[in-house]
Amino acid sequence: MMSLTRSYGAAGLALSVMAGFAVTPPSVAGQTAPVMVTSDTPQYCLHLLDQVSELMRLAPAPPPEVTSLSTAGQRMCGQGHTRGGIMRLRRALVLLKEHSLPP
Amino acid sequence: MFRSAGVRFAVVYALLLAASAAALALFLWWSTAGLLDRQTETAIRADAQGLSERWEEGGLPALVLTIDERLSGNVDDDAVYLLTNARMQRVAGNLAGWPSIVREPDTWYELPVQRAGILSLALVWRYDLPGGYHLLIGRDVQVRAQLRRLLTDALLWALVIVAAMAVAGALIVRSLLRRTLANVSTTANAIAAGDFAQRVKLSGRGDEFDQLAEVINDMLDRIGRLMDGVKQVSNAIAHDLRTPITRARARLEEASLRASSPEALRAAIDRATADLDGIVAVFQALMRISEIEAGSRRSAFATLDLAPPLADLAELYGAVAEEKGVTLSADIPERLPAHGDRELIQQAVANLLDNAVKFSPPGGTVRLQARPAAAGVEVLVADQGAGIPPEDLKRATERFFRGESARSTPGAGLGLALVQAVAQLHGGTLRLEDAAPGLAATLSLPAPEEPAHG
């Protein structure tokens, strides 16, 4: 009932062009309760911070950007800017993994 | 309303414009929003492929670790994963629980999600794994959904504008067509009312309507000339036949009132009969010209050798010329292939020879010369008579036309008209020139068609 095929938008537009009235893709957001995403929470922020710290501890000489990103991410998560903090910690993780890969 | 051509053209214009705009809108949609959708699907499928391989390599622990790694490295913050066990309890991923709307495997769902308190939209795909595990893989498409809505709004507004333009354009097309046709219609009405001098006005742009107007005007000119010709022939018939009919009537009346003997009465009747025979001959000649012009004789065309009939004519008119003290010199090749009606061509050349002998002075020479030419066959008949003044040459082939010098000689002025009709029937020409002195008439006929080579 709530499932929507990926082509409904194009078909809707085609119908609207042919029939001359608007068919906006129906949003299910208003018809069912949204599911919570757990990777935007302060808990996830701490989880990422643990991962970054662990990798930094194992890395012989982590890049300086990693340190600054990790610090900024930790500060932002502490100040309530969870998504911004998580984004910086993720970038720090990606840099650390790239750095630890053999050349 | 649809019986009006203007309305039909306008509707066709509007429909074509609307169809073109719709096609353009669909293409724009497919190449923007459609492209983003396809990219998202491709990313999800690739993600699923990678997770599937990890599941096969290391089972559940490897899959859980990989999902965690992918979430950790998801800098774009748009990935959605959820792995549950058979009881739909969360094992790994970043969704709080299994969404109730996702029931069927291998199906696309648009799922409302909440990220940090903000409502968003994700496109997800469900996979069922061995052991009763269920995997949900997706991407956040909120930005794409917003873009799609913006695009839809823009296209719908564009559709409204196109519809307005289509209506305006259709009205302009209808107006243009009506104005152009009104020009032709006004002229046609004026002609129907008797004003044959009216012509369709040209816009001067040289477009298709101007070309049509020129064709109509040429047609009207041609009809006008034909009507003038009919009037002229009618007048000529009335004028030329009135004299012999009046003369025959006078003779019969005179004989009826004053004939002193049966012999005198019979002589008067014979003369009147001769006059009436002349009238009948004129009508026969007219009917023959009409028959030739109608083209009904074309079916009798055949490839023929003109040399023998021309030689016969030279012999016949040689004797006639000799009686008048005129010399007829003939120059005819042994073979002269042509294509046409033998009897008509013979009649045409006989008319030319008859005229030439008739108008030649005693001691003069009439030349009959036939030769193959580049375009076919040319038959020249030239005399040394008074000829035709240059100003009369163009009219000499009209029915009943008789120049000043021909007034005193017998004839009805139909001989050259018949020759001209024969030439036109054969696709040839009759050329009249001053032979200084005399007249040179050249009858040109096209060559016989080459047989097709197999």
Residue A26: inside a domain: no
B304-338 CB burial, b ≥16 within 10 A, e <16: bebbebbbebbeebbeebeeeebebebebeeebeb
B255-275 CB burial, b ≥16 within 10 A, e <16: beeebeeeeeeeebbeebeeb
User: Given an 8 Å threshold on Cβ–Cβ distance, is A37 in contact with B107?
Assistant: no
Write out residues 9-48 of A within 8 Å (CB-CB) of B.
9-10, 12-14, 16-18, 20, 22, 24-25, 27-29, 32-41, 44, 48
User: Given an 8 Å threshold on Cβ–Cβ distance, is B97 in contact with A28?
Assistant: no
Task: Encode pLDDT of A40-85 as tens digits.
Answer: 888 999 999 999 998 888 877 888 888 899 999 999 999 989 889 9
Contacting residues of A for B73, CB less than 8 Å apart: 90, 93-94, 97
The range of the structural domain enclosing residue A90 comes to: 42-100
Task: Tell whether B121 is within 8 A of chain A (Cβ).
Answer: yes
pLDDT at B353: 93
Of B101, B116, B123, the CB nearest to A40: B116
H-helix or E-strand spanning residue B454: none
Task: Encode pLDDT of B23-78 as tens digits.
Answer: 888 888 888 878 888 888 999 999 999 998 998 888 999 999 999 999 998 888 88
Please report the ipTM that was assigned to this predicted complex.
0.71
pLDDT at B138: 93
Residue A17: inside a domain: no
Average pLDDT over residues A16-22: 35
Contact B33, B155 (CB under 8 A): no
Task: Encode pLDDT of B306-365 as tens digits.
Answer: 999 999 999 999 999 999 899 999 999 999 988 888 888 998 999 999 999 988 899 999
Distance separating alpha carbons of residues B220 and B208, to the nearest angstrom:
18
Number of domains in chain A: 1
Residue A68: inside a domain: yes
pLDDT at B352: 93
Residue A75: inside a domain: yes
Contacting residues of B for A40, CB less than 8 Å apart: 77, 115-116
What is the dihedral sign for C-alpha B29, B33, B36, B40? negative
pLDDT at A26: 38
User: Given an 8 Å threshold on Cβ–Cβ distance, is B26 in contact with A13?
Assistant: yes
Which domains does chain B possess?
5-150 (3.30.450), 208-293 (1.10.287), 298-446 (3.30.565.10)
Residues 6+ apart with CB under 8 A from B227: B196
Residues 6+ apart with CB under 8 A from B40: B123, B139, B141, B144
Contacting residues of B for A51, CB less than 8 Å apart: 72
Distance separating alpha carbons of residues A36 and B120, to the nearest angstrom:
10
Q: Predicted confidence band at A101 (pLDDT cuts at 50, 70, 90)?
A: low
Residue count of chain B: 454
| Residue type for position A52 | V
Task: Tell whether B116 is within 8 A of chain A (Cβ).
Answer: yes
Residue A56: inside a domain: yes
User: Given an 8 Å threshold on Cβ–Cβ distance, is A83 in contact with B123?
Assistant: no
Distances (CA, A) of B6 to B156, B176, B179, B209: 29, 9, 10, 15
Task: Tell whether B238 is within 8 A of chain A (Cβ).
Answer: no
Residue A37: inside a domain: no
Residue A78: inside a domain: yes
Token pair belonging to B32: 């923007």
- Extract the residue ranges of chain B whose pLDDT is less than 50: 452-454
What residues are paired with B337 via a beta bridge? B305
Contacting residues of A for B148, CB less than 8 Å apart: 9, 25
Residues 6+ apart with CB under 8 A from B451: none
Average predicted confidence (pLDDT) for chain A: 73
Closest-CA distance of chain B to residue A91, Å:
6
Write out residues 155-214 of B within 8 Å (CB-CB) of A.
155-156, 159, 163
Return the residue of B nearest to A29 by Cα. Answer: B112
H-helix or E-strand spanning residue B204: none
Query: For a pLDDT cut of 70, what percent of chain B falls above it?
Result: 96
**Helix orientation angle between B262-294 and B208-258, rounded to the nearest 10 degrees:** 170
| Residue type for position B70 | R
If you count residue pairs, one on A and one on B, with CB atoms under 8 Å apart, how many are there? 131
User: Given an 8 Å threshold on Cβ–Cβ distance, is B22 in contact with A24?
Assistant: no
Residue A27: inside a domain: no
pLDDT at B194: 85
Distance separating alpha carbons of residues B55 and B53, to the nearest angstrom:
5
